Chains A and B, each alone.
Chain A
């Protein structure tokens, strides 16, 4: 784990870290990775990856509409909105 990797990860997570924080997180992540690293010693060649630790399967929902229009509440609770839309900084490709 080096500073550069932490910078990449924090960029992807849109987190702004100052130098001190970056150093601390680098060290923390280093420790975590070392801690789980011993798992690498186990041979998992013939093991199917586990999708979910609960030994259950997904319930399925019937396809009928059962949801109210809560537009006003949702828009009211957003940082910025007009009567129809959520307003966000300009994002244009």
Chain B
């Protein structure tokens, strides 16, 4: 029997605002526990929530980017449930009138483009954090995260494999980071997803019973959790049993999903309009303001790099694919530094250093200013591209200024042709056999001579001069 998979994803993106959705407490990650808590976050009686304008701006920016409808009037509802990390006893969310409805996202699966429609994206507040291992018989609560703005992005059930789910998540990740809507840091939980997975016989029009896998926080785990769940459900159905609608957790250590401890009663959240919050109206002027400050997206960036800066297509795509990298690139390039060279080094040398250390460019010792200096020193002939790699490696470790490294280590390129000529002459004299072989037709030996001259000058000879001089001497 052949089965097909139907997946819908609910992605929670923590909005990169400075303050919470309804209070002016900071949302900074990693602070001392319970130091970023306001009376509103604590749910004390008598306090009133006030919406964060920037959270709306970010949600709308996302909506515009996916060609969705923006509800210029939206409202908030209460979702009622009890859990210790939710002090009010309800979560404020947008059930009936979400800020964003519709729209779509294109994903690329092995070169094939597929469009995934978006049902809605709504604003809601995050809960606090429960920690279970501090005491043997108690849990502890940190409310720093309570009230942090989330954009919950709900897809239509149009995803048909774990692989597609990962592509979708990657496309979303790129989009929200470029839009500066979310920092995209999955390890800190800034972007996490719940996957609704069901199985049906190929050709069936009705959906099978779904299970929901909660809080998956890496691309790898999305793929593994969904694949495990697909296999599990197929096995259940092929044994003649029924899939139970339930919430499951993915255990990455055991690579399996298992049911969360089920509650005696089914969830009944008793949504109702939050009487503390008036409808939020976004005026046409506010919409125009948001549209005017809409950031340039990867595709547009890539096209601009190719047409205006004459960057190679492949390199333009790589540089524009990450927000950090493109910002770094744009800061480093000016009228005196060569954009082609910059892109080339970013994709090549710097790319491999980043991969090796598994960091982002803004986490490295290389600043855009320092990279700009390095580029200028290559363009003005102070150092060769080869030496630039040595300087780069030094900056990578020490963070020192490029000019300082060049000066202190005596890396300035030898431009004086008479010096190069002397060295070349010596090399040829020291290797009579090779010279004879070269003259006898072994053209490849030219590289050997170049290498020797470079070695003798510690890589500082201007490569073009070396070539010209050797050609002359060997002719």
Contact = CB atoms under 8 A, between A and B. Distances in A.
Contact of A51 (B51, B97, B132, B264): B97
Most interface-central of B75, B141, B143 (chain A CB within 10 A)? B141
B138 A93 contact: no
A62 B54 CA distance: 7
B252 interface: no
Contacts of A8: 265, 268
B37 interface: yes
A84 B56 contact: no
Nearest to B249: A93
B18 interface: yes
Most interface-central of B75, B83, B138 (chain A CB within 10 A)? B138
A60 B142 contact: no
Interface stretch (B104-112, B273-281, B456-464): B273-281
Given A85-B131, A91-B83, A54 B278 contact: yes
Contacts of B134: 85
Most interface-central of B26, B270, B278, B280 (chain A CB within 10 A)? B278
B281 A57 contact: yes
Contact of B141 (A12, A49, A64, A88): A88
Interface stretch (A22-30, A33-41, A65-73): A65-73
A69 B31 CA distance: 11
A88 B37 contact: no
A52 B265 contact: no
Contacts of B93: none
A8 B265 CA distance: 8
A57 to B, nearest CB: 4
Main secondary structure of the interface of A (DSSP, over half): loop
Contacts, number: 135
A93 B261 contact: yes
Contacts of B310: none
Nearest to B81: A12
A16 interface: no
A70 to B, nearest CB: 7
A87 interface: yes
A63 B18 contact: yes
Interface in B127-161: 130-132, 134-135, 137-143
A14 B82 contact: yes
Given A84-B32, A84-B142, 13 more contacts: A51-B97, A52-B273, A60-B50, A60-B51, A61-B24, A61-B51, A61-B53, A63-B55, A64-B19, A67-B24, A69-B35, A80-B138, A87-B139
27 contacts: A8-B265, A8-B268, A12-B80, A52-B275, A52-B277, A54-B278, A57-B279, A57-B281, A58-B277, A60-B53, A61-B19, A63-B54, A64-B19, A65-B18, A65-B24, A67-B24, A85-B141, A87-B135, A87-B140, A88-B130, A88-B139, A88-B140, A90-B139, A91-B83, A91-B132, A92-B132, A92-B139
Interface of B: 17-19, 23-26, 32-38, 42, 50-56, 75, 80, 82-84, 96-97, 130-132, 134-135, 137-143, 249, 260-261, 264-265, 268, 270, 273, 275, 277-281
Interface of A: 8, 11-12, 14, 49, 51-52, 54, 56-67, 69-71, 74-75, 80, 82, 84-93
